[in-house]
Amino acid sequence: FLPDESRSLPPPPLVNKGSVWLGFVGWLTAMLDNTFNQRPVLRAGVHRQILFTTVGWFVGYYLTKRMDYMYAKVDRELLEYVRHHPEDFKKAG
C-alpha cells in the first residue's frame, strides 16, 4: 500500500480530516445497519458502532498518509524537472 520511501515523510496528525470523516461514515454505517434490521438505532450494537468507527478512523488515517505520499512524489518530480530544465523557468528580474 505504501512504499518504503514514504517512511521518510512525517506522519499525518492522528486527528485529520480523512480520519474524522471516515470514522463518522463508519459510525453512520452502524446506525444504518441498526435501522435496516429494525433494532433501536443508538442503543443496539454499541460494540459494532465502536468497531465501525475505529475501522473508519484507521482507514481514513492510512488514506491520508497515502495521499500525502502521492502529493510529495508529484512535488519531488516537478522540482526535479525544474532543476534539470532551468532554461524553461527563468526568474523574472
pTM: 0.83
Give me the domain span that covers residue 19. 12-85
The answer to whether the CB of 80 falls within 8 A of the CB of 69 is: no
In this structure, is residue 92 part of a structural domain?
no
In this structure, is residue 45 part of a structural domain?
yes
In this structure, is residue 18 part of a structural domain?
yes
User: pLDDT 10s per residue in the chain (93 long)?
Assistant: 788 988 899 999 999 999 999 999 999 999 999 999 999 998 999 999 999 999 999 999 999 999 999 999 999 999 999 999 988 888 876
